[in-house]
């Protein structure tokens, strides 16, 4: 008897331990994922710079200090051959390999430095410029042995410094990992989300109002219900196929445009919004409706003056969660051609654009070592946005939700 | 005038209609308060509605048909007589002409395009002028009509509310329309595919290599069985081996054992797993998990372990699915009445015995439905397999070998440079249709299971 009880208690402990292990392992996986991304990605926000001595008077740049303050400064400096001056300075400072040490966009940094301080033209100066990917690889302990030797020599002299890379937040895609930025993708995401919100929110809320407040129970409304519930579970890639077949090849809308992306995602998250709004409307107690009807309000007045305002926190929470889902979605956008290489941020809704998750996907395909850090950095930005949206949803729910 | 400016103009007129309608109604009602039927706001809405709605409707229809009208007008001019009589070439010349008309600096391939561009521009301007004029006229006509009807006895409310209801109905019909258009577009494209490739070859063929499609027998290299197997193997076997025990056990632990405080914190944390974008999981699988699994496989003695193994994609997918299984199980366990649990305890059962013998059997329909939904979610998952699984279609039982899935192949087929009508692109739609039908059936079955077998307690 005692033995049996011991055995049963041992089984009990084992079972409890298995449950605990499942929870801990799942949470551990999440932690592992986040830590991996963070440790990879934080380096992606910074860049290594090397102090490059340039003797401007000796270089004889054909520009005046006055020109540098005009709007044509960029053109004047490019015309005066600033890029060659910078390359020469690099060769002079770092030897034969000098050009390979600095990044291709190093001269644009020098240009900005000149524009902000035109007095540089008349003296020698040390300007911090970004290093090339080869040097970056060598610093991380990879790359070509020859480069590693050069770099370790320079490192001993303390020529390198690590700075936060503002270019990563303000420029668009590029083929060189030291030059890439996420602003283009972020802007594309913004445009796409705008279209999605403008389409999905009104239609979703209005159809929820119809289904909850007006719909008679018959075969037609059952059909609407069934299709909404099923749409919520349709794989997202199917919506991409729909976008391709209907928006691109039937309606001839422009390929890769954020307009089409937004429409496709709107169809995808509409069911989420409808279901959330219906639950929120359902939660408004009938006594409110009865009271309003009792003092002579019409049905439309009851809905728009009383039911909807009370249901709004719930509706907004559902909408934000749906928008967060749309923001992280990749597959349907690949289908409608948003995976093109786009080096210019989009200017309008019909311009070719890409979005943040697709940018992450595109960078993840790149072989260059530098893209690993950039990809993880872009993932961090995406996760920060999603976290902010979810936090807002939770805040709205806790702050405004009324328990009847 | 472009259609955006026109849209805002019409909306502005609508607003003016609202304001004037309200002012007039307010004045009239103040003069005869006893006889009035509707509130000033309702009269205002009526006027605004008549001002904006017909004009907007016309604008939508017009922007759909006017490109075709412009095209026909251009083709009727003498300048277009020299164009090739039919087909692609003429379309491309016309397309370039339109581009040139919008932006004269752009370059053109065809010299003819430069010649017709002014004609095209003129026709475009003419039709755009007609369209704008008609829209504005319609807006004013609607306004005049509605404004003249604003009297105290006029039943504006009834009419406005009927329109509101119509708008609500149309909004809710869009859900049906979406489902229908998914189904129809997939069906049409698939029908075109099956006209070229016999359906039996597609469904039962075991050889998949869309890179080389023979023109005499296209069905020979488009057999989808390896894809179905890969999808099933990754999504329904490997992922579920991870997701079901983890999801179920964490739901049990959090509902039955954990202190309320632990539960309050751990439940949202687990749900974050479902909120992480799939592209992040895919990147993680490709960058971290897949190489680790390959090394592990080599250590075990598999010489040819793939770095794009089925196991890597399946494992990560399983982790992503954990919260789905866990929250469904959570709900259905919580729905079992406490009396049953207490009864079991009173008979001397331990907690784990109660859970295994009483709670799980009682909540089984919900748990099973949750698993079916999880499977449907897993086989439709795209980014993880696109990034971590391979493109080689093999039928294998070895999780360290590579396997491909339906979703991965859809992406691969459609992101090449292929034209829209080749069997290759159409095959993607046939695969999409298969995927849609399977996930649809899984959802229906899951809902039926819940409805039919759920015991009604209380």
Instruction: Report the CATH number at residue A233.
Output: 1.10.3720.10
Tell me the pLDDT of chain B (458 aa) as tens digits.
577 788 889 999 999 999 998 898 888 888 877 777 888 888 888 999 899 989 989 988 888 788 778 878 877 777 766 666 666 667 777 777 777 776 666 666 666 777 777 777 888 888 888 888 999 999 999 999 988 888 888 888 888 889 998 999 888 888 778 888 888 888 998 998 888 888 888 888 888 887 777 667 777 778 888 889 989 999 899 999 999 999 999 999 998 898 989 888 888 888 888 889 999 999 999 888 888 888 888 888 777 777 788 888 999 999 999 998 998 898 888 888 889 999 999 999 999 999 999 999 988 888 898 899 999 999 999 899 988 888 777 787 888 888 888 999 898 888 765 566 677 888 889 999 999 999 989 988 888 888 777 666 65
Task: Kindly state whether residues A247 and A381 are assigned to the same domain.
Answer: yes
Q: Are A363 and B283 in contact (CB under 8 A)?
A: no
Three-class secondary structure assignment of chain A: CHHHHHHHHHHHHHHHHHHHHHHHHHHHHHHHHHHHHHHHHHHHHEEEEEEEEEEHHHHCCCCCHHHHHCCCHHHHHHHCCHHHHHHHHHHHHHCCCHHHHECCCHHHHHHHHHHHCHHHHHCEEEEEEEECHHHHHHHCCCCCHHHHHHHHHHHHCCCEEEEECHHHHHCCCCCCCCCCCCHHHHHHHHHHHHHHHHHHHHHHHHHHHHHHHHCCCCHHHHHHHHHHHHHCCCCHHHHHHHHHHHHHHHCCCCCCEHHHHHHHHHHHHHHHHHHHHHHHHHCCCHHHHHHHHHCCCCHHHHHHHHHHHHHHHHHHHHHHHHHHHHHCCCHHHHHCCCCCCCCCCCCCCCCECCCHHHHHHHHHCCCCHHHHHHHHHHHHHHHHHHHHHHHHHHHHHHHHCCCC
Residues 6-25 of A with CB under 8 A from B: 8-9, 11-12, 14-16, 18-23, 25
Task: Kindly state whether residues A306 and A217 are assigned to the same domain.
Answer: yes
B259 touches chain A (CB under 8 A): no
* Number of compact structural domains in chain A: 2
Task: Kindly state whether residues A117 and A205 are assigned to the same domain.
Answer: no
A83 is a domain residue:
yes
B60 touches chain A (CB under 8 A): no
The string of DSSP codes covering B339-372 is: HHHHHHHHTT--HHHHIIIIIHHHHHHHHHHHHH
Q: Do B279 and A361 touch (CB under 8 A)?
A: yes
Residues 140-179 of A with CB under 8 A from B: none
What SS3 class is residue B434?
A: helix
Q: Please report the ipTM that was assigned to this predicted complex.
A: 0.85
pLDDT of residue B421: 67
A267 is a domain residue:
yes
Q: Minimal Cα–Cα distance from B408 to chain A, Å? A: 10
Which of A36, A227, A382 minimises the CB distance to B175? A227
Task: Kindly state whether residues A119 and A48 are assigned to the same domain.
Answer: yes
The string of DSSP codes covering B126-195 is: HHHHHHHHHHHHHHHHHHHHHHHH--TT--HHHHHHHHHHHHHHHHHHHHHHHHHHHHHHHHHHHHHHHH
Best A13, A26, A259, A270 residue to mutate vs chain B (most B CBs within 10 Å):
A26
Residue A223 CB neighbour total at 10 angstroms: 14
A211 touches chain B (CB under 8 A): yes
pLDDT of residue A47: 78
Task: Kindly state whether residues A329 and A227 are assigned to the same domain.
Answer: yes
Q: Do B435 and A237 touch (CB under 8 A)?
A: yes
Q: Do B167 and A206 touch (CB under 8 A)?
A: yes
Which residues of chain B have a CB within 8 Å of the CB of A20?
253, 257
Tell me the pLDDT of chain A (404 aa) as tens digits.
889 999 999 999 999 999 999 999 999 999 999 998 888 888 778 777 887 777 777 777 777 777 777 777 777 777 777 777 778 777 777 777 777 777 777 777 777 777 777 777 777 777 777 777 777 777 777 677 777 777 777 777 777 777 777 777 777 787 777 778 888 889 999 999 999 999 999 999 999 999 888 888 888 888 888 888 888 888 999 999 998 888 887 877 788 888 899 999 999 999 999 999 999 999 999 999 999 999 988 888 999 999 999 999 889 999 999 999 999 999 999 888 887 787 778 887 878 888 999 999 988 888 777 788 888 889 999 999 998 998 888 888 888 777 66
B379 touches chain A (CB under 8 A): yes
Which of B175, B319, B415 minimises the CB distance to A224? B175
Q: Do A23 and B387 touch (CB under 8 A)?
A: no
- The DSSP 8-state label assigned to residue B318 in this structure reads H
- What is the chain B residue with the closest CA to A324? B275
Indicate the average pLDDT of chain A.
84
* Domain residue ranges of chain B, discontinuous segments joined by +: 3-154, 218-453
CB-neighbour burial class of residue B26 (10 A; exposed 0-12, middle 13-18, buried 19+): middle
Q: Do B279 and A242 touch (CB under 8 A)?
A: no
- A–B interface: beta-carbon pairs under 8 A: 242
Which residues of chain B have a CB within 8 Å of the CB of A209?
168
Q: Do A16 and B352 touch (CB under 8 A)?
A: yes
A199 touches chain B (CB under 8 A): no
- What is the chain A residue with the closest CA to B250? A23
- Burial of A109-148, coded b for 16+ CB within 10 Å and e otherwise, reads bbbeebeeebebbeeebebbbbbbbbbbbbbeeebeeebb
Q: Are A345 and B294 in contact (CB under 8 A)?
A: no
Task: Kindly state whether residues A203 and A103 are assigned to the same domain.
Answer: no
A28 is a domain residue:
no
Task: Kindly state whether residues A337 and A308 are assigned to the same domain.
Answer: yes
- Domain C-terminal end among A108, A132, A164: A164
Q: Do B411 and A209 touch (CB under 8 A)?
A: no
pLDDT of residue B107: 60
Best B168, B271, B408 residue to mutate vs chain A (most A CBs within 10 Å):
B168
pTM: 0.85
Could you give the CA distance from residue B260 to residue A404 in angstroms, rounded to a whole number? 24
A118 is a domain residue:
yes
Q: Do A241 and B440 touch (CB under 8 A)?
A: no
Could you give the CA distance from residue A26 to residue A30 in angstroms, rounded to a whole number? 7
Task: Kindly state whether residues A131 and A231 are assigned to the same domain.
Answer: no
B353 touches chain A (CB under 8 A): yes
A241 is a domain residue:
yes
Identify the CA nearest to B66 among candidates B8, B6, B109, B115: B6
Task: Kindly state whether residues A114 and A190 are assigned to the same domain.
Answer: no
Could you give the CA distance from residue A290 to residue B365 in angstroms, rounded to a whole number? 38
Best B159, B167, B174 residue to mutate vs chain A (most A CBs within 10 Å):
B174
Could you give the CA distance from residue B378 to residue B239 in angstroms, rounded to a whole number? 7
pLDDT of residue A14: 93
In angstroms, the Cα distances linking B292 to A30, A147, B247, B273, B296 are: 17, 30, 24, 21, 6
A24 is a domain residue:
no
Could you give the CA distance from residue A162 to residue A185 in angstroms, rounded to a whole number? 25
A169 is a domain residue:
no
- Domain C-terminal end among A135, A164, A193: A164
Task: Kindly state whether residues A218 and A143 are assigned to the same domain.
Answer: no
Q: Do A238 and B157 touch (CB under 8 A)?
A: no
Q: Do B351 and A12 touch (CB under 8 A)?
A: yes
Residues 145-164 of B with CB under 8 A from A: 157, 160-161, 164
The residues near B32 (Cβ < 8 Å, ≥ 6 apart) are B152
pLDDT of residue B249: 93
- What is the chain B residue with the closest CA to A15? B352
Task: Kindly state whether residues A133 and A218 are assigned to the same domain.
Answer: no
A53 is a domain residue:
yes
Identify the CA nearest to B355 among candidates B453, B446, B255: B255
pLDDT of residue A75: 75
Could you give the CA distance from residue B189 to residue B168 in angstroms, rounded to a whole number? 32
- What is the chain A residue with the closest CA to B285? A33
* Domain assignment of residue A391, given as a range: 183-400
What SS3 class is residue B310?
A: helix
Which of A33, A237, A249 minimises the CB distance to B284? A33
CATH says B218-453 is which class? mainly alpha
Task: Kindly state whether residues A396 and A278 are assigned to the same domain.
Answer: yes
């Amino acid at each position: 008897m005692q033995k049996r009880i011991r055995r049963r208690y041992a089984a009990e402990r084992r079972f409890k331990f298995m449950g605990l292990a499942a929870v801990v392992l799942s949470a551990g996986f999440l932690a592992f994922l986040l830590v991996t991304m963070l440790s990879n990605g934080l380096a992606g926000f910074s860049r290594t710079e090397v102090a490059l001595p340039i003797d401007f008077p000796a270089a004889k740049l054909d520009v005046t200090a006055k020109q540098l303050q005009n709007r044509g400064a960029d053109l004047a400096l490019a015309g005066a051959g600033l890029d060659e001056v910078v390359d020469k300075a690099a060769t002079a400072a770092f030897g034969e390999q000098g050009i390979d040490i600095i990044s291709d966009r190093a001269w644009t940094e020098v240009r900005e430095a000149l524009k902000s301080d035109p007095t540089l033209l008349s003296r020698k100066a040390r300007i911090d410029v970004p290093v090339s990917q080869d040097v970056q690889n060598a610093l991380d302990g990879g790359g070509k042995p020859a480069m590693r030797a050069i770099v370790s020599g320079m490192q001993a002299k303390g020529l390198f410094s690590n700075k936060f890379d503002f270019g990563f937040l303000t420029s668009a895609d590029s083929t060189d990992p030291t030059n890439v930025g996420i602003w283009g993708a972020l802007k594309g995401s913004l445009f796409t989300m705008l279209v999605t919100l403008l389409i999905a929110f009104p239609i979703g809320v209005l159809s929820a109002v119809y289904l909850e407040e007006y719909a008679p129970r018959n075969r037609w409304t059952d059909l609407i219900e069934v299709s909404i519930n099923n749409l919520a579970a349709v794989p997202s890639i199917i919506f991409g196929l729909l976008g391709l077949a209907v928006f691109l090849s039937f309606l001839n809308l422009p390929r890769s445009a954020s307009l089409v992306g937004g429409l496709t995602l709107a169809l995808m998250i509409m069911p989420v919004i409808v279901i959330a709004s219906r639950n929120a409307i359902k939660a408004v107690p009938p006594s409110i409706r009865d009271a309003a009807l009792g003092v002579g309000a019409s049905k439309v007045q009851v809905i728009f003056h009383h039911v909807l305002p009370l249901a709004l926190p719930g509706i907004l929470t559902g909408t934000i969660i749906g928008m967060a889902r749309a923001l992280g979605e990749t597959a349907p956008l690949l289908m409608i051609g948003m995976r093109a290489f786009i080096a210019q941020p989009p200017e309008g809704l019909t311009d070719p654009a890409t979005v943040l998750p697709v940018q992450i996907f595109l960078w993840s395909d790149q072989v260059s070592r530098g893209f690993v850090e950039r990809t993880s950095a872009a993932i961090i930005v995406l996760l920060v946005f999603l976290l902010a949206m979810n936090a807002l949803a939770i805040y709205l729910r806790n702050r405004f939700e009324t328990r009847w | 005038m472009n259609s955006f400016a026109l849209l805002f103009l019409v909306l502005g007129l609508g607003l003016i209609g609202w304001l004037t309608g309200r002012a007039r109604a307010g004045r009239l009602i103040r003069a005869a308060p006893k006889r009035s039927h509707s509130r000033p706001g309702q009269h205002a809405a009526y006027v605004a509605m008549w001002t904006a709605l017909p004009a907007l409707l016309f604008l939508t229809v017009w922007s759909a048909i006017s490109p075709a009208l412009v095209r026909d007008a251009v083709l009727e001019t003498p300048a277009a007589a020299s164009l090739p009589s039919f087909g692609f070439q003429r379309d491309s010349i016309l397309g370039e002409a339109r581009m040139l008309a919008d932006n004269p600096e752009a370059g053109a391939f065809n010299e003819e395009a430069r010649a017709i561009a002014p004609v095209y521009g003129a026709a475009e301007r003419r039709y755009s002028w007609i369209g704008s004029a008609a829209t504005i006229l319609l807006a004013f006509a609607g306004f005049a009509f509605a404004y003249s009807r604003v009297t105290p006895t006029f039943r504006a409310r009834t009419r406005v509310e009927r329109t509101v209801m119509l708008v609500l109905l149309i909004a809710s019909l869009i859900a049906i329309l979406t489902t229908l258009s998914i189904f129809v577009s997939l069906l049409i494209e698939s029908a075109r595919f099956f006209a070229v490739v016999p359906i039996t070859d597609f469904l039962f063929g075991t050889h998949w290599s869309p890179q080389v499609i023979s023109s005499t027998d296209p069905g020979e290299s488009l057999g989808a069985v390896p894809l179905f197997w890969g999808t099933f193997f990754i999504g329904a076997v490997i992922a579920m081996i991870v997701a079901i025990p983890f999801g179920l056990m964490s739901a049990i632990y959090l509902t039955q054992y954990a202190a309320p405080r632990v539960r309050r914190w751990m439940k949202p944390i687990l749900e974050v797993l479902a909120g992480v974008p799939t592209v992040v999981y895919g990147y993680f699988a490709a960058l971290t998990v897949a190489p680790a699994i390959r090394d592990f496989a080599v250590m075990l003695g598999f010489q040819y372990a793939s770095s794009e193994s089925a196991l890597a994609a399946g494992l990560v997918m399983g982790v992503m699915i954990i919260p789905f299984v866990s929250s469904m199980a959570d709900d259905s366990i919580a729905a079992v009445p406490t009396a049953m649990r207490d009864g079991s305890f009173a008979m001397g059962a331990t907690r784990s015995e109660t859970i295994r013998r009483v709670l799980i059997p009682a909540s089984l329909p919900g748990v099973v439905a949750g698993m079916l939904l999880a499977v449907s979610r897993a086989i439709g998952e795209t980014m993880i397999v696109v990034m971590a699984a391979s493109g080689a279609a093999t039928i294998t039982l070895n999780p360290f070998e590579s396997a491909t899935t339906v979703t991965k192949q859809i992406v691969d087929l459609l992101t090449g440079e292929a034209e829209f009508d080749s069997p290759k692109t159409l095959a993607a739609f046939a695969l999409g249709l298969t995927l849609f039908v399977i996930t649809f059936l899984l959802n229906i079955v899951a809902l039926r299971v819940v409805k039919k077998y759920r015991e009604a307690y209380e």
